[in-house]
Amino acid sequence: MAEQPRRFAIGYALVPKKRHSFIQPSLVERACERGIDLIPIDLDIPLSEQGAFDCIIHKVSGKAWRAQLEDYSAKNPRTPIIDPPEAIERLHNRISMLQFVSELKIPQEKESLGVPNQIVIYDQAALVDVGTVGALRFPLIAKPLVADGSAKSHKMALVYHRDGLLKQKPPVVLQEFVNHGGVIFKVYVVGDYVKCVKRKSLPDVCEEKLEGLEGSVSFSQVSNLTAPEDWEEDKYYETMHLGEAEMPPLSFVTEVGQGLRKAMGLHLFNFDMIRDAKVGNRYLVIDINYFPGYAKMPSYETVLVEFFLDVVHKSSDERPDSASDGQEVAEDVLDRGW
C-alpha cells in the first residue's frame, strides 16, 4: 500500500472578528487540497497541550500569549512562528512604524519614496502651542499614536486649521495631508509575494477653501468618510475614474515591499502608499498594518496556501536528502527569524 503524503498542521490564533474574516471556507478548502489542515488554537488552553504544529500564525496580543509562544518555541524550536511578537509590536506605534521606510536603501532614480511630515503630541497644551505645530502645513491627519487594531486606534480626523486641533486627544500623531488624487495604493506582502491594489481615498483638499471648512472631520476608514458639502464628494468620485488611475511600477512596489519585510522581520503585512499629486513620481507610505484583511486581496487563498507550504517545507526535513541542503534549510530558518 502506497504511503500517504504527509499533511501539515497550521495552527492559527486569531480574535473572533479576524478569524471570521480570514478563515473563509474557500481558504480551508484550498489548504486541504494542498495537504494543509488549518487548526484553531484555543486561547484558554496552554499552547503546549494542543498538539504539534508545523507552523503557527497569530494576531493576538498580550503578555500571557507572548509567554505561551516563548514556551512553545523553547519546546519546539523548529516550528515557525509567524510572526515574532517583538517584531509585530513595533507596528503598534505610528511613529516608529514609519521609521522603517526612512531606513530603506533602494534606488530612487525614477521614483522617490518617503513619509509625510509628522509629529507626535503627548499633551493637550502642546496642541495649542504655535511653535510645536507650526512646522506642519494644514490640513493634517490626526491619528492615535497606538495602532493596535482596536476600534479606538482607527478613529482619525482630517483637521483643516488650528481650531480643529482642540478636539484631538493626545497622545496623537499629526501627519501632513498630501493631495493624492483620491487614490490610495494598498500593498499586500505575503512572504516573497507582493500585490498592489488601488482603492478610493480621501479627496484632495483645495487650499483656498481651508478656512471656510469646519475645524475637522472624523472618520475611521477613508472609504466611509462623510465629506463636507464643499467637497461635492459624489461628483468628485464620479469624475475621478479610479479604474484609470495609473498604478506605481511593479518593480518599485516589489522592492519597497521586500525591503520593508526584511527591515521589519515580518512576513504578513500591508502598507498604504499614496502618490503626491504635485510630484507624480513621489510616493509616500502613510501606514503599515500587521496581518491585514487578506480576504480583500485577489486570489488570497492561493497566495496564502503557497506561503504556508513554503514555510513548512523550509522548516521540515522533507527536502532533497543531502547534508548541504539540510544546512541551507537551517541557515534559511535562522535568516528569517523562525
161 in a known ligand binding site: no
178 in a known ligand binding site: yes
Q: How far apart are CA 312 and CA 136, in angstroms?
A: 47
71 in a known ligand binding site: no
146 in a known ligand binding site: no
- Whose CA is closest to 141, among 333, 284, 317? 284
143 in a known ligand binding site: yes
175 in a known ligand binding site: yes
293 in a known ligand binding site: yes
243 in a known ligand binding site: no
Contact 71, 49 (CB under 8 A): no
156-159 and 81-82 as β-strands: parallel, antiparallel, unpaired?
Answer: unpaired
154 in a known ligand binding site: yes
Q: Cis peptide before 248, with omega less than 30 degrees from 0? A: no
199 in a known ligand binding site: no
101 in a known ligand binding site: no
141 in a known ligand binding site: no
Size of the chain in residues: 338
Contacts of 151 (CB under 8 A, 6+ apart): 220
59 in a known ligand binding site: yes
Q: How far apart are CA 156 and CA 144, in angstroms?
A: 7
182 in a known ligand binding site: yes
Residue 251 has phi, psi (to 5 degrees) of: -65, -35
185 in a known ligand binding site: yes
177 in a known ligand binding site: yes
Q: How far apart are CA 153 and CA 5, in angstroms?
A: 45
133 in a known ligand binding site: no
Contact 47, 81 (CB under 8 A): no
183 in a known ligand binding site: yes
308 in a known ligand binding site: no
Which residues participate in the annotated binding site for Mg(2+)? 272, 287, 289
- Where is the binding site, in residues? 18, 59, 94, 143, 154, 175-186, 201, 272, 287, 289, 293
Binding residues for ATP: 94, 143, 175-186, 201
Q: Show binding-site residues for 1D-myo-inositol 1,3,4-trisphosphate.
A: 18, 59, 154, 186, 289, 293
